[in-house]
Amino acid sequence: MGDPPPRAPRLGAGGVLRVLMRGLPLALLVFGGLALTLLVRLIERPVWGVNRPLTPAITVAVCRGALRIIGLSVETQGTPMATPGAVVANHASWLDIFVLNAPQRVYFVSKAEVAGWPGIGWLARATGTVFIARDRAQAAAQAALFQSRLRAGHRLLFFPEGTSSDGQRVLPFKSTLFAAFFAPGLRERLAVQPVSVRYRAPEGCGARFYGWWGDMEFGPHLLRVLAAPRQGRVTVVYHAPLAVAAAGDRKTLAAACETRVRTGFGAPRPGSVKEG
């Protein structure tokens, strides 16, 4: 992606102070929300099973509060869909978790190794994340899990690029997970909503300030964001949902979603028509 990722910042006295002023309340909010979620799940699990009527509201509240603490402004265009199905978006940063969870109840789909990450893995498991292993031998079992969550009415959110970028581009979409929408009894009633997430760096910072990609470590990037004297903003564009039944197959659906996500960056896919 061009130049290598930036080095970890050296924090001056002001940067350290900002990290403390933002980081401490952020940690209290996130891990306090985690503790509350785990307590409520003790009631949800035996009563409602896979359904989670209460804990998603905690996740939404925590994500909204986290964005306020960090100071990242969010501009929303369009409306999150209310129908069953899934949301697909470009992936630029760990901040996407807060940004995309704040306006609606969704369940993320993530690579299996995230489940073992300290802190983030605990949060992901507690909030009902669906973990997918990159193993063809488990493909059938994972497709069944994916479909069971969709049949339960869960609105799943995943990143078809398969990795995060520097936030300045949209990578090609992989079509593998789209196959689950075409299962009998699902394709006729599901829709997929493409979402474009565009970050704008704080004044005086490089355009890729919020991007988290390549071999960048989470800790240094977190400190860099928390230490910034000013924060930028993020624009979230909710495109019109696409009916799964109207797509011929998973590759067609993936390509259509990619095209719409690209329009949110002002760069439609070659050969496509930009939405009006």
HSE-CB for 210 with a 13 A CA cutoff: 28
Q: In this predicted model, what pLDDT tens digit does every residue of 226-242 receive, in sequence order?
A: 999 999 999 999 999 99
* Rounded Cα distance, 66 and 108, in Å: 18
HSE-CB for 271 with a 13 A CA cutoff: 3
User: Is 226 within a domain?
Assistant: yes
- What is the predicted pLDDT for the residue at 272? 38
Q: In this predicted model, what pLDDT tens digit does every residue of 123-168 receive, in sequence order?
A: 888 888 888 876 666 667 777 888 888 888 889 999 999 888 888 9
User: Is 22 within a domain?
Assistant: yes
Structure tokens that stand for 223 in this block: 């400190």
User: Is 2 within a domain?
Assistant: no
Confidence at 276, pLDDT banded by 50, 70, 90: very low
User: Is 120 within a domain?
Assistant: yes
User: Is 3 within a domain?
Assistant: no
Quickly tell me which residue has 């960048």 as its tokens.
216
Q: Say how many domains are in the chain.
A: 1
User: Is 91 within a domain?
Assistant: yes
Q: Is 239 exposed, middle or buried (0-12, 13-18, 19+ CB in 10 A)?
A: buried
* Rounded Cα distance, 46 and 192, in Å: 30
Q: What is the per-residue burial (b if ≥16 Cβ within 10 Å, else e) of 48-71?
A: eeeebeebbebbbebbbbbbebbb
Is the per-residue pLDDT at 275 higher than 50? no
Of all helices (H) and strands (E), which one includes residue 67? helix 55-70
Give the mean pLDDT of 67-92: 94
CB contact set of 262 (below 8 Å; sequence gap of 6+): 170, 196, 268, 269, 272
* Rounded Cα distance, 86 and 232, in Å: 28
User: Is 6 within a domain?
Assistant: no
Give the mean pLDDT of 113-120: 76
Confidence at 270, pLDDT banded by 50, 70, 90: very low
Domain of 143 in residue numbering reads as: 13-263
How much of the chain exceeds pLDDT 90, in percent? 58
User: Is 4 within a domain?
Assistant: no
6: closest CA among 198, 223, 171? 223
